[in-house]
Amino acid sequence: MGFLKKLRKRDDRYARVAKGKAAKKDARNMYKYMMAREAAERELVNLEQRCLLETQVIFFRVLHEDFGFGAKRLFDLAYHVNVIGECMKDKKLGIHLQDLRDQLEAETGYKLDVHEVKGGPEIQVQKQAVDAVSILYLLELHDKYGFGKARLEKMYHACAKVGSEISHGKMTIKELAQKLEEAGIAPKFKGERVTRKMDDETREVAS
């Protein structure tokens, strides 16, 4: 009996040690999972901000070169768009993108061609950012400058064309931003000029 008790004690001790190691391993795995999830969420936020910025640069370029908008009108337009965009983040205010899209169609007769895109979180974030900026700019152009269906459609298709040229490597967002700065029109992002923000991101990636 004494020998069997010793065996049971030994087995119990081994079991407790194994259980402790398993718990530590689970804790380490959970920590790694939480850190990876947090990093992925930060990356999605950064991606969203970058898409918002790049879409705004495209709108600035088209409005300046195709519609003759100068710095004052562009900055005023961007200010109002950004204010509405910030309000949309506050869910208590109940401002939804679909409602704004319906408002655009009701007031102008222009139905923004928005189609579903299949893909992971990154693709969805990019799509939502582009849709949000597009609808807000089109609404503001209608409200503040009287753009009707024809000019809104022309404006949107011009932006889509520039976006396609960027996607095919014919030009870059940074090149567009630099041209705007040369013309005295520099879209800003959280108080920074576009090119400076892009240079910082490039250095972060390189490091």
Residue 141 lies in a domain: yes
Residue 49 lies in a domain: yes
How crowded is residue 112: how many other Cβ atoms within 10 Å of its Cβ? Answer: 16
Q: Is residue 192 within a helix (H) or strand (E), and if so which, with residue range?
A: strand 192-193
Task: Tell me the residue type at 129.
Answer: A
Residue 26 lies in a domain: no
pTM above 0.85, yes or no: no
φ, ψ of residue 185 in degrees (nearest 5): -120, 105
Residue 71 lies in a domain: yes
Query: What is the residue range of 109's domain?
Result: 43-206
Cα 61 to Cα 74: distance, rounded to the nearest angstrom = 10
Residue 23 lies in a domain: no
Residue 76 lies in a domain: yes
Residue 33 lies in a domain: no
Number of domains forming the structure of the chain: 1
SS3 193: strand
Residue 32 lies in a domain: no
Q: What is the pLDDT along the chain (207 residues), one digit of tens a residue?
A: 455 565 566 656 656 656 666 666 666 666 666 766 676 667 766 777 888 888 889 999 999 999 999 988 998 898 888 888 888 777 666 778 888 889 999 999 998 876 666 777 777 778 888 888 899 999 999 999 999 999 999 999 999 999 999 988 998 888 888 888 888 886 654 444 444 444 444 333 333
